[in-house]
Amino acid sequence: MTADTKMPPYLPYPRFLMEADLALATKLVYAVLLDRAQLSQANGWADDNGQIYIVFPIVEIANAIDRSPMTVKNALNELETAGLIERQRRGQSQPNRIYVKIPDGQDIVRLMDKKLAPRRTENCPPDGQKTIPLMDRKLSTNNLTSNLSELPDVREGACARARGRYENVFLTEAEVAELQADFPTVWQEYIERLSEYMASTGKTYKSHAATIRRWAKEDRRKGKGVSDYSCKEGESL
């Protein structure tokens, strides 16, 4: 870079997001929404109360950030729980309006303070279908809706992260390390195949690590590589 170098196009990324107790995909979605809100602001898209709104379908947001629509839905739910957006549903066949909120000083403290917003490191959904709010304090009056008793148990001290193309395969760092050690050349392929399989069929599993291990061992026993590992009807772990 020199003094005359032009910066490439970039998204507005508020500094409070760096420390906010939100998922990375959620932060990215907020930055994209804020960027679109600036466009609405420039074009005068305001309601009768003068509030700027945007119209941004989920599929378009997913394309913009190169993530799955389910990931975007979860991110929007988390942002709404945190009070960073508000969605106004406008009836059948009409797109929702999204109002992007700008937190004030006290709200930013709540977003960033881990004591006010403790991160849950254990209870991650196995299929990406349920959103887990990451804060028990929020900016809006929305109630937390996730029932933690319905979520599967994972090992204490481990955080299961979303992996795979569709971010629906949940594995802890320890589980990944074990899969790497046992299946060093194909472990990533099994993660991607499992992600694609669950996204396309809607099937869910209690343990993604156990599912991958079982499929890999079956393929190894049959002398196959990464192949058709789909379960028979009614089978699950």
Asked if residue 61 has pLDDT above 90, the reply is yes
Distance between CA atoms of residues 219 and 200, nearest Å: 21
Give kind and range of the element (H or E) at residue 27: helix 24-43
More confident residue, 73 or 161: 73
Instruction: Give 166-187 pLDDT, tens digit per residue.
Output: 888 888 888 888 888 888 888 8
The pLDDT value recorded for residue 145 is 33
Asked if residue 141 has pLDDT above 70, the reply is no
Assigned fold of 11-118 = Arc Repressor Mutant, subunit A (1.10.10)
Distance between CA atoms of residues 34 and 50, nearest Å: 17
pTM of the model: 0.49
Q: CA separation (Å) from 198 to 25, 166, 195? A: 20, 9, 5
The pLDDT value recorded for residue 106 is 63
Angle at 123 between CA 178 and CA 23, to 5 degrees: 90
Work out the average pLDDT over 157-173.
Answer: 77
The pLDDT value recorded for residue 29 is 95
Tokens read off for 70: 């389910």
Cα 123 from chain centroid (whole Å)? 14
